[in-house]
């Protein structure tokens, strides 16, 4: 299982921007390939994605320098090491980089090698990635948090919240959850068309109609769920990602689509009112990353009845996450492997979540590829949730299709997390 070669080159992500594809080859002939995702709505404390900055190539977004670092520095460092010693590999790359946020070599370069090495090790052992990472206990199929309506940084409409999601919590299996989600997705398309809205899809496969308020969006979702033959809150619940850091300033939370400012207290009140009125079971980044007091207020107000997911505030960083837990921020974490840049650090975040009773939501990025590593990671970690976009665009459906295959591979031992995650019947008050 010794590494004999590492190679990287430019590939394209789902937005037509360059990203890295990395291959790791082993002495026994096994190999592993990984493609690295990229985000649009990013936290200020994410690990550094290295781009060339050469305006004459890919508008400055090329990754030739990052690829060169893989093919020289990282290759020279790791040749001869065992691919199944993930922590040693990752720590060696972190130490070689020598910066707090991996800016010298680039988190995209380091992550590509980290994931490709894990895939190569799994291939060498003849086991799927989810089993290699999770062992014999990996059996929980995640609830898909399906992003069907977009605003914020993911759309050109005046809707301030970034994502509106459906969660098939009442399904009996992951396969049934996918069916239910797809049926609501098509129902929503019909409802939007009848209302005169465009139904083109955005980066993550969701619709971006010309809506102004969260209430408008949620009403469309409620109608679509019912028209598809499901019960809102029992069969299918709702989730929000306001991505509040995107519209927060020292003056408060600016709702441009509604021309109003809210204080932190008013933002908490607003979210609480939405939870009261709709079967919302999950809110991601309801408060800004630089508003810890607001996060604490939100957690105290809604933490016993709603999943409060920290993304920008935690950045999949073990130290930031541990600090947030100690401050009483949220009760769940969004896990994005490229926010931190190695598989080892990602797994440490999952262990912290398990120790403190936080839920873990494995997540894609808006700039995705056909790589399905996050599907395997979601099952390996038994976290119970995955965010990987809507029910369209092959970069999103590839993850769902991979999870369908994993469920078949596990067979009768597969457990769908939906009824376990939200056991009570969920209805608006």
Rounded to whole angstroms, how far apart are CA atoms 364 and 241? 14
Segment 264-278, tens digit of pLDDT: 999 999 999 999 999
Residue 381 near residue 141, CB atoms below 8 Å: no
Residue for token digits 């960083």? 317
Q: Which helix (H) or strand (E) holds 252?
A: strand 252-255
Section 358-382 average pLDDT: 96
Catalytic residue check, 193: no
Query: Where do the H-state alpha helices sit in 228-291?
Result: 264-277
φ/ψ of residue 370, rounded to 5: -80, -5
Ligand-binding annotation for 311, yes or no, is yes
Among residues of the chain, what percentage have pLDDT more than 90? Answer: 90
Q: Which helix (H) or strand (E) holds 238?
A: strand 237-241
Ligand-binding annotation for 189, yes or no, is no
Please say whether the dihedral angle defined by the alpha carbons of residues 291, 296, 302 and 307, taken in this order, is positive or negative.
Answer: positive
Residue 148 near residue 184, CB atoms below 8 Å: yes
Segment 332-342, tens digit of pLDDT: 999 999 999 99
Tokens of 405: 């295959």
Q: What is the overall mean pLDDT for the chain?
A: 94
Among residues of the chain, what percentage have pLDDT more than 70? Answer: 97
What pLDDT score does 428 carry? 53
DSSP 3-state percent helix, strand, coil across the chain (nearest 5): 45, 20, 35
pLDDT-wise least confident of 126-140, 264-278, 332-346, 411-425? 411-425
Section 296-316 average pLDDT: 96
* Of 256, 367, 352, residue with least CA distance to 18: 367
- Work out the end-to-end distance of the chain between its first and last CA atoms, rounded to an integer number of angstroms: 57
User: What is residue 384's three-state secondary structure?
Assistant: strand
Ligand-binding annotation for 85, yes or no, is no
> What residues pair up with 9 in beta bridges, in sequence order?
21
* Of 66, 63, 48, residue with least CA distance to 315: 48
Q: Is the pTM of this model over 0.85?
A: yes
Catalytic residue check, 204: yes
Residue 39 near residue 62, CB atoms below 8 Å: no
Rounded to whole angstroms, how far apart are CA atoms 376 and 383? 11
Residue 41 clears pLDDT 80, i.e. is over it: no
From 204, 289, 348, 407, the catalytic residue: 204
What pLDDT score does 151 carry? 87
Rounded to whole angstroms, how far apart are CA atoms 83 and 343? 13
Ligand-binding annotation for 351, yes or no, is no
């Amino acid at each position: 299982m010794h590494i004999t070669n590492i190679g990287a080159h430019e590939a394209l992500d789902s937005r037509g921007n360059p990203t890295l594809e990395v291959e790791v080859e082993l002495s026994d002939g096994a190999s592993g390939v990984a493609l690295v995702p990229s985000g649009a709505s990013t936290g200020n404390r994410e690990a550094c994605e290295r781009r060339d900055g050469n305006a004459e190539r890919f508008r400055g977004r090329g990754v030739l320098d990052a690829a060169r670092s893989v093919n020289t520095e990282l290759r020279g460092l790791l040749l001869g090491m065992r691919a199944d010693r993930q922590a040693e590999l990752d720590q060696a790359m972190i130490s070689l980089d020598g910066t707090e946020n991996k800016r010298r070599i680039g988190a995209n370069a380091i992550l590509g090698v980290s994931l490709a090495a894990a895939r190569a090790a799994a291939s060498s052992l003849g086991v799927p990635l989810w089993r290699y990472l999770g062992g014999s206990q990996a059996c929980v199929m995640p609830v898909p948090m399906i992003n069907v309506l977009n605003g914020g940084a993911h759309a050109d409409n005046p809707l301030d919240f970034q994502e509106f999601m459906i969660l098939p919590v009442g399904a009996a299996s992951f396969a049934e959850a996918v069916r239910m989600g797809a049926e609501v997705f098509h129902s929503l398309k019909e409802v939007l068309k009848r209302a005169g809205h465009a139904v083109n899809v955005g980066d993550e496969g969701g619709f971006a109609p010309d809506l102004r308020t969260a209430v408008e969006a949620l009403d469309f979702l409620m109608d679509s769920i019912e028209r598809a033959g499901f019960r809102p809150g029992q069969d299918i619940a709702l989730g929000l990602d306001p991505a509040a850091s995107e519209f927060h300033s020292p003056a408060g939370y600016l709702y441009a689509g509604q021309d109003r400012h809210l204080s932190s207290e008013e933002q908490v009140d607003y979210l609480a009112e939405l939870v009261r009125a709709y079967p919302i079971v999950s809110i991601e980044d309801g408060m800004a990353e630089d508003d810890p007091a607001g996060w604490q207020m939100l957690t105290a107000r809604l933490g016993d009845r709603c999943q409060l997911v920290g993304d920008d505030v935690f950045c999949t960083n073990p130290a930031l996450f541990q600090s947030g837990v100690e401050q009483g921020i949220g009760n769940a974490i969004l896990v994005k492997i490229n926010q931190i840049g190695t598989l080892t650090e990602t797994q440490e975040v999952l262990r912290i979540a398990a120790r403190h009773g936080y839920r873990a939501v494995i997540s894609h990025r808006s700039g995705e590829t056909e790589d399905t590593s996050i599907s395997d990671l979601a099952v390996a970690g038994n976290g119970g949730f995955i965010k990987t976009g809507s029910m369209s665009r092959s970069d999103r459906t590839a993850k769902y299709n991979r999870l369908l295959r994993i469920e078949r591979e596990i067979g009768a031992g597969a457990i769908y997390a939906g009824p376990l995650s939200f056991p009570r019947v969920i209805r608006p008050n």
